[in-house]
Each structure stands twice: as structure tokens, then as C-alpha cells.
């Protein structure tokens, strides 16, 4: 399992660099985590960015390891303040292999309004399978945010949720997939905002959304 943990630390450190590259975070805000699946009866663990560390300074050695109750099990630095939320998601959504939190401008603006992003783009149908939902307001520091994420996404095909007055969280089968969802979420949040400034966006028929989503998830790309 040590090999898997070390590989996850390298992967998560590299994926953090994608957040400022795509303009999804400011200063030290935001985080990426990855599940490390246990072997030979060992419990799953998660690796995550430490709290308050600069993206430019982050190295694989800095990435900390926690159990799925959010307790530090390996690392010299304090885990992200969002660790309890990530851990709750992993405990209650076994298929999730990565979680990302950002404060990207347009997605967070929709979260500030407490308004779902309507599915008016084929890109949204592809990646999110419908509107991007809004989760409840929750305070940072315990697993309240995690509960809101799980309760919202359990009934939605979307890998993204806009936590009211906070910002977006995305999930994926891997940390890389969750980062991709975060990047595409900000793109559609911005585009739909611009479209609404120009007039009323045209909703996509639910049957077309379902067809587009199935094609993108099961046919598109290299298989």
C-alpha cells in the first residue's frame, strides 16, 4: 500500500498545479484529494493538500495522508480544513476516487445566488447529465459540507455541486476526473452567465440530455 500512497501523493501534487493553471483558485484556497484503496483487508485512505500551503511550494512530500474519518495518519503538516468533507464523501460514495474543491469565479457566483446552472449546452449534457445542482449552506470544519455534497449528488448524475454561499465541489472515479469536472464546470458557469446576459438560454430536451450524456460517458474517446 505504501507504493500506492506514494503514487497518489505524486499525482495529487501534480493535479493541484492544474487549479491555478485554469484560474480556479486564488492564493492557497482549494484542494484536491484522492482515495487510496486498501489492500489485504486494510482500510481505504485519502491523500490531500495540507492547509494553507502555496501551490508553488507544494511537493509530493507535503501531501498528507488521512483515514476516512479525516484523521491524519502520515505527514508533517496539518490537513486541509476541508478534509472532513472529503472524508465524508469517500465514506458514503464508494465509487468516488477523487474530490476537488475550488472557488472558481463564475461557479462560485452561481453558488452565491443559490441557483442551479440550467442545462442549456451540449457540453453540460455530456459531462453533467443535466443541471448542476445546488447543495445546502454548511459551515466549514466538520462533515456538514460532506453531508450536503452526498445528499445532493446521490439524486443527480452530475459530478459537480454548488454548495450555497461557498463554492463548487466535484467528484470523479479518479482525482484527475474530478479536476476535469472542475475545469468544465467553470467553463459552463461562465458561458451560461454570458448567455443569460444576452437573453434567455434555450433549454435542452431531457431525452436529448440523456442521449448526449450516455454517448459521452460510454462511447466518446478512446475505449
Enumerate the active-site residues.
126, 220
SS3 35: strand
> What span, in angstroms and rounded, lies between the C-alpha atoms of 137 and 162?
10
Query: Are 49 and 26 spatial neighbours (Cβ–Cβ below 8 Å)?
Result: no
Beta pairing, strands 98-101 & 160-163:
unpaired
In sequence order, which residues have a C-beta less than 8 Å from that of residue 55 and are 6 or more positions away? 16, 17, 19, 20, 25, 28
> What span, in angstroms and rounded, lies between the C-alpha atoms of 69 and 60?
22
- Strands of the sheet with 167-172, listed across from one edge: 72-74, 64-67, 45-48, 31-36, 98-101, 167-172, 160-163, 134-135
> What span, in angstroms and rounded, lies between the C-alpha atoms of 9 and 33?
9
Amino acid at each position: 500500500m505504501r507504493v500506492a500512497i506514494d503514487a497518489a501523493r505524486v499525482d495529487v501534487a501534480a493535479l493541484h498545479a492544474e487549479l491555478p493553471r485554469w484560474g480556479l483558485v486564488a492564493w492557497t484556497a482549494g484542494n484536491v484529494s484522492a482515495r487510496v484503496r486498501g489492500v489485504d483487508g486494510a482500510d481505504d485512505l485519502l491523500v490531500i493538500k495540507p492547509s494553507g500551503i502555496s501551490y508553488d511550494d507544494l511537493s509530493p512530500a507535503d501531501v498528507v495522508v488521512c483515514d476516512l474519518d479525516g484523521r491524519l495518519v502520515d505527514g508533517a503538516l496539518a490537513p486541509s480544513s476541508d478534509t472532513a468533507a472529503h472524508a465524508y464523501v469517500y465514506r458514503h460514495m464508494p465509487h468516488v476516487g477523487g474530490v476537488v474543491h475550488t472557488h472558481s469565479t463564475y461557479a462560485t457566483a452561481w453558488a452565491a445566488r443559490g441557483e442551479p446552472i440550467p442545462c442549456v449546452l451540449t457540453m453540460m449534457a455530456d459531462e453533467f447529465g443535466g443541471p448542476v445542482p445546488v447543495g445546502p449552506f454548511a459551515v466549514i470544519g466538520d462533515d456538514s459540507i460532506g453531508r450536503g455534497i452526498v445528499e445532493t449528488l446521490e439524486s443527480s448524475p452530475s459530478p459537480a455541486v454548488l454548495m450555497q454561499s461557498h463554492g463548487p465541489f466535484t467528484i470523479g472515479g479518479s482525482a484527475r476526473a474530478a479536476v476535469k469536472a472542475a475545469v468544465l464546470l467553470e467553463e459552463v458557469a461562465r458561458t451560461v452567465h454570458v448567455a443569460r446576459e444576452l437573453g434567455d438560454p434555450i433549454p435542452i430536451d431531457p431525452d436529448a440530455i440523456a442521449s448526449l450524456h450516455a454517448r459521452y460517458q460510454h462511447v466518446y474517446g478512446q475505449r
